[in-house]
Structure formats: structure tokens, C-alpha cells
Amino acid sequence: MADRFIAKADDGYVIKDRGTGKVVSRHGSIAAAAAVLREAVKQETRKQRPCITCGTLFWSEGAHNRMCDPCRTRSQEAPYQIGHRRGRIGARV
């Protein structure tokens, strides 16, 4: 992954490559530069991974993202499974 950072410039803000010092892109505000940098990092960490539920390959945004969208939707629609108790741990139901 390229190591990039935001630096102040005369006409706004720039994203620079830490290794070469070259300007990668120019932006009018620090918020715009940060958004572009976040998106670049997000795209670099994306890769195809198997879903932990069904095994289908999908484009994951990182180690935290291990379920494909259809499985994630199904798990949100049915949050309680048979055998699971509702309520707090230790509470009498």
C-alpha cells in the first residue's frame, strides 16, 4: 500500500507520496483531500474473500468485512435464532 499524507500548499491542500515526495492530487479543502485519501486507502485494502456464511467470493473492504451482502441482509432480518434467549445475560426471563 502506498504511504500517502496530506500537506498544506499555497492554493489549498495536496496529497503526497511519502516515499517519492511527489504530489498525487490537489484539493481546495482539507476535507476534500481527506475524503480522497480515505477512498484511496479503502480501494487498496479491497480484495476478494469468501463469505464466512455461504462461501461465495465477494469484494471485501477489509478484514472486518467477511459476510457478503445477501448473507448480511438475511442475518439482520432474523437476528434471533431458535435456542437463543432474548434479554440480558443473567436476567431472569
Q: Residue ranges of the domains in the chain?
A: 4-45, 47-77
Indicate the pLDDT class of residue 63, thresholds 50, 70 and 90: confident
What are the angstrom distances between the C-alpha of 76 and each of 70, 72, 86, 87?
10, 6, 15, 17
- Give the global pTM: 0.53
Average pLDDT, the chain: 84
**pLDDT per residue as tens digits for the range 70-91:** 998 888 777 665 555 555 555 5
